[in-house]
Structure 1
Amino acid sequence: MDDIAMDRTPAESGTLKGLELPPDKIRAAMLERRRIVLVTDAYVVARPPATARERTKQQVLDRYFHKSCETQINGRRVTVYDQT
């Protein structure tokens, strides 16, 4: 699995989480995929998208993809989106 939003890994960037691409490049990368697997927090602890990057990801998923399946376990949520 690839993190399509990642520009530089934590090791490359010297940060804890790495560095993501700008929103327009994230959008383009997402639209190149037929399927996206999203791993995130379970609903009980998930927060609404707070940054432009997070909002872009959610907007692309809402507009161009549909949720195929989802499961939650141990505080994490795995959702599979297929392009419509």
Structure 2
Amino acid sequence: QNKKTMVEFVSANPTGPLTVGRGRGGVMGDTLARAMAAAGFDVVREYYFNNAGRQIEMLGESLKIRYRQVLGETAILTED
């Protein structure tokens, strides 16, 4: 075969609870890529971290604020 192919798959949401349903994309993508490689395909895997969106932005902001607080700076973490 030696046909080059790309399999793209995504991670579970890093800000939510990890469940079997949320983890299936990674499992299915990796399984498909392994099966294709075993069949003779030249497989390239593209694994996307599901790290975009407001939740991740808020996580990053809260980490920066807490870090500044540890350094003794005045930084306020809002509830939102």
TM, length-normalised to structure 1: 0.27
| Structure showing the higher strand proportion among its residues | 1
TM, length-normalised to structure 2: 0.28
RCO comparison, higher one (Cα < 8 Å, 6+): 2
| Structure showing the higher helix proportion among its residues | 2
